[in-house]
Amino acid sequence: MIEKNLTRAQFGDDFQWGVSTAAFQVEGSCDADGKGPSIWDTFTAKKGKIHASDDARRACDFYADFKRDIDLVKALNIPNFRFSISWSRLMPSGVLPVNSSGIDFYNKVINYCLELGIEPWITLYHWDLPQALEERGGWTNRGVVDWFADYTRLCARSFGDRVKHWMVMNEPVVFTGAGYFLGVHAPGRRGLKNFLPAVHHVALSMAEGGRVLRSLLPDAQIGTTFSCSPIEPFSQGRRDVAAARRADALMNRLFIEPLLGMGYPEADLPVLKKLRRYFVEGDEGLLAFDFDFIGLQNYTREVVAHSWLTPYLGAKIVSARKRKVALTAMDWEVYPPSIYESIKKFDRYPQIRKIYITENGAAFPDERVENENGETRVNDEARCSYLQRYLEQVLKARKEGMKVEGYFVWTLTDNFEWAEGFRPRFGLVFVDFASQQRIIKSSGHWFARFLGTKT
């Protein structure tokens, strides 16, 4: 049952509300109008990499019909729309020359948002590195810092006259860990020899991207986003507690602490000392940048136990399914306090001035039903409850004086969920991927009512 007590007004007039998407997951038109391939285009074409052999060649057809979905943002009373830029749509080879059709597309998206009174928030990098750069080493090649700076410069000069909120990276620990250590995401590389240089070059690029934006757009709000999950030991035994500390260093602290001028968390995860082999003189200073805000992306918590069998980390996640707790379709635990604990953790860093929740949401098995009038509806009471309960925890943090100033739902429409393909549905809006029909779910209707109530 949906609670009626939570209101928008409780969060204050200056609290920012939005919805988040990502280019590769929604745009489709993977080779239209001069776009070059990204690492995800290449990865999805490989056998056995994606659930049910799904691909994103069409995805949600956002490139072909972006107004349809931005109209939905407006219909849902959502004032801020976060989307990412496809690097290879602007620069097909990752470097010059520029593809003017790509620039034109994002200009149209930005201008239509503004026409409808929706504020565009841009993410520069949401995992889709140009394949041409991957063939030159990708994130393992230190040259990527300059390539990324040039791409950032192009975006700032092309869109900065209208876009006031920028995010440099999306969840760096996820795309480096899954893509360059475990090999389960693009580009499918494995091992420490790929992971460590990728980590360092991503960290340098994140700070350098911030500096480029600041130099060209001094009045813009500039941030970057991190995935975060509270890490709890499976027991209070010494080994489990130590394992949880190492996992926390990897999953929550690896990128934020060098950005804040604290260096990598080597003391709690000694394998990170190996990052030093990729340093050149002056890197300690180049890793740091004073962002205006930090985006936090939280879905659940993790429970961790000691494991002799896990190299470098000595820890393993105890599956939520084995713990017999409430689960989403991703087998993630439904644990609303996780978002409060994540805010509290990052709020403790005095260098962070402002926090936005830039992603939160859940995938559940949605059902289409017809009412007596023949209208198709999608009832997703589980998602309604999830959003409500997590928002209550955000409000708790705000009332306690933590510097959380906004909340963005993941995501607007069901989309291509990376290696999981189209199976998990996170959207406020249901998508029939065969027909591209949209149906606003119960959760979307609830969120629209919630945002429409200001008093």
Would you name the residues annotated as active-site residues?
A: 171, 359
User: What is the rounded CA–CA span in Å between residue 451 and residue 384?
Assistant: 14
CA-nearest of 390, 383, 169 to 294 is 169
Contacts of 252 (CB under 8 A, 6+ apart): 226, 228, 229, 231, 345
For residue 98, give the 3-state DSSP assignment.
coil
User: What is the rounded CA–CA span in Å between residue 114 and residue 104?
Assistant: 15
Q: Is residue 118 within 8 Å of 73, Cβ to Cβ?
A: yes
Q: In DSSP terms, which residues pair with 430 in a beta bridge?
A: 439
Phi and psi of 160, rounded to 5°?
A: -70, -15
Q: Crossing angle of helices 442-452/381-399, nearest 10°?
A: 30
Token match 């189209």: residue? 422
User: 314-344: b or e for each residue (b if 16 or more CB lie within 10 Å)?
Assistant: bbbbbebeeeeeebbbbebbbbbebbbbbbb
Query: How long is the chain?
Result: 455
Report strand pairing: 429-432 vs 437-440: antiparallel
CA-nearest of 262, 340, 335 to 296 is 340
Alpha helices in 129-171 (DSSP H): 131-134, 144-159
Residue 83, both tokens:
């989307």
